[in-house]
């Protein structure tokens, strides 16, 4: 009985000491908001490259900034695939505008997603674009937004690709979605306008076919390939073959929310070779994700750095905030790594703080030197580094001066009183029990 009493008393004392130590060090840690940078003024225009040459440089850089691709232009305020909608999308901050082209009966290219005029043109009468001449197509008036029955007639006409190229030169890049059989005609049209640097050709052709085509050209155009699958080995082979064929970016797609296109294993296939692209305008293309900031952050954190969106203005703002968060991490790294000397002190507690600091430095360097990270990732890395360094600054002084365990505070007093009460109560209990047994 006496041995049991001694063991319990010792355990209570140890518990009291541990509780006292935990409270002591918990009070000395600094807390910093993850989102303290929101008070700063962010210039939204900085998120947009604004110039086709600058956008092209970023497009070819695997570690480049987040690029905003507006799907069919600013169709929220203008008809989809209209010249006015394209120009508005650039004004809203889009770096690239994705357009769809069809060929008329007289061999001209016009901007149109569907094969017929039914959905997007007033009085379309279900006429096929391939059966109409350019002049006949020009007689139609576009419907507002994405068209359909309830849309209103506008004064805008179906633009030809030639008109669009002439109007947008230098403002940003065009991503042209087309039928593979038209590749040579489209290439000649763009090349004759001296705009190969302003245009990206989008195709879902086989990588081998892309390579054979580009090898036959005097000047290689910008190319983005596309692949929809959830088979990891097929995706890996397509990515590898695409980059070998001269492709600079690959758009991956799946309707599976947990598909392999979101795995780190797949993203490693890109490496330093090119960009990963995702289309957020259709849930069946992005694993049932929504075209919102929450999911932009998700796909960017997984490795995607080009996003096709229906909300170019909002995504451009997110891109600007992401770059600002990265700049804040760079400033934090400069302050607490390049301009700060890590002190040395022989203490087990200090060793833990030092280890946390070293981990935070490693994560910050990976975020700054690697591929694009999400806004949240940059904010987290900055917060962790700042907190780790400040904890060392605060606790190093206390540990060095021998004051870390001497600070008296209300929580410590309460813990101490409870510990003493527990020990005394145990002693009284066993004392009374021993008397009753006697």
Does 79 map to a domain? yes
Is residue 39 a part of any domain in this protein? Answer: no
- pLDDT tens digit sequence for 105-143: 999 999 999 999 999 999 778 899 999 999 999 999 999
Report mean pLDDT in 10-residue bins for the chain, 438 residues. 54 51 41 34 43 91 96 97 97 97 97 95 88 96 89 94 94 96 97 95 96 93 94 92 96 95 94 96 96 97 97 97 97 92 71 88 95 96 94 74 54 74 76 71
Domain membership flag for residue 391: no
Please choose, from the candidates 39, 37, 24, 34, the residue with its C-alpha nearest in 3D space to the C-alpha of residue 387.
34
pLDDT given for residue 402 in this prediction: 58
User: Nearest Cα to 385, choosing from 321, 336, 349?
Assistant: 336
Provide CB contacts within 8 A for 106, sequence distance 6+. 133, 134
In-domain check, residue 162: yes
pLDDT at 306: 98
- The verdict on residue 8 lying in a domain is no
Asked if 87 contacts 171 with a C-beta cutoff of 8 angstroms, the reply is yes
pLDDT, position 29:
41
d(CA 253, CA 267) in angstroms, rounded, equals 13
Task: List strand residue ranges (DSSP E) for 89-209, in order.
Answer: 96-103, 109-111, 121-122, 141-142, 173-177, 199-203
pLDDT at 126: 85
In a domain, 33, yes or no: no
Distance CA(17)–CA(20), nearest Å, equals: 5
**How many domains, in total, are found in the chain?**
1
Range of the domain at 79: 52-320
Which pair of tokens denotes residue 109? 């290219």
Q: Is residue 226 situated within a structural domain?
A: yes
| Residues 222-268: tens digit of each pLDDT | 999 999 988 888 999 999 999 999 999 999 999 999 999 999 999 99
pLDDT computed for residue 347 by the predictor: 63
Question: Do residues 343 and 396 make contact, with C-beta atoms less than 8 angstroms apart?
Answer: yes
> 235: closest CA among 286, 284, 269?
269
Distances (CA, A) of 133 to 106, 147, 163, 181, 186: 5, 22, 16, 19, 17
CATH number of the domain bearing residue 171: 3.20.20.190
**Residue 429 falls inside a structural domain:** no
Per-residue model confidence (pLDDT) at position 236:
93
């Amino acid at each position: 009985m006496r041995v049991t009493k001694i063991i319990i008393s010792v355990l209570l004392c140890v518990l009291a000491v541990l509780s006292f130590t935990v409270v002591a060090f918990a009070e000395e840690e600094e807390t910093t908001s993850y989102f303290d940078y929101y008070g700063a003024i962010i210039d939204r225009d900085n998120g947009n490259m604004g110039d086709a040459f600058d956008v092209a440089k970023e497009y070819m850089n695997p570690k480049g900034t987040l690029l905003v691709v507006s799907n069919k232009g600013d169709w929220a305020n203008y008809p989809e695939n209209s010249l006015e909608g394209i120009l508005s999308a650039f004004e809203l901050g889009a770096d690239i505008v994705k357009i769809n082209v069809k060929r008329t009966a007289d061999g001209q290219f016009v901007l149109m997603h569907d094969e017929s005029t039914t959905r997007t043109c007033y009085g379309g009468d279900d006429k096929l674009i391939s059966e109409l001449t350019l002049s006949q197509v020009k007689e139609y008036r576009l419907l507002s937004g994405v068209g359909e029955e309830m849309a209103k007639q506008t004064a805008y006409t179906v633009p030809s690709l030639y008109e669009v190229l002439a109007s947008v030169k230098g403002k940003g890049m065009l991503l042209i979605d087309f039928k593979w059989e038209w590749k040579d005609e489209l290439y000649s049209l763009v090349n004759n306008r001296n705009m190969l640097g302003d245009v990206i050709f989008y195709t879902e052709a086989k990588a081998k076919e892309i390579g054979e085509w580009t090898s036959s050209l005097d000047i290689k155009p910008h190319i983005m390939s596309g692949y929809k699958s959830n088979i990891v080995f097929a995706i890996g082979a397509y990515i590898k073959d695409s980059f070998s064929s001269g492709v600079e970016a690959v758009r991956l797609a799946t309707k599976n929310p947990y598909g392999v296109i979101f795995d780190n294993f797949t993203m490693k296939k890109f490496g330093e070779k090119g960009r990963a692209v995702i289309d957020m305008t259709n849930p069946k293309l992005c694993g049932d994700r929504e075209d919102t900031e929450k999911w932009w952050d998700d796909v960017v954190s997984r490795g995607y750095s080009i996003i096709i969106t229906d909300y170019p203005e909002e995504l451009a703002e997110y891109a600007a905030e992401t770059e600002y968060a990265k700049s804040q991490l760079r400033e934090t790294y400069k302050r607490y790594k390049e301009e700060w000397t890590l002190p040395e002190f022989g203490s087990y507690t200090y060793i833990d703080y030092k280890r946390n600091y070293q981990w935070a430095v490693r994560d910050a360097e990976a975020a700054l030197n690697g591929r694009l990270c999400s806004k949240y990732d940059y904010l987290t890395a900055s917060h962790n580094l700042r907190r780790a360094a400040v904890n060392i600054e605060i606790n190093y002084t206390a540990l060095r001066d021998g004051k870390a365990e001497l600070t008296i505070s209300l929580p410590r007093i309460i813990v101490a009183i409870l510990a003493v009460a527990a020990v005394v109560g145990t002693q009284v209990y066993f004392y009374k029990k021993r008397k009753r047994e006697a």
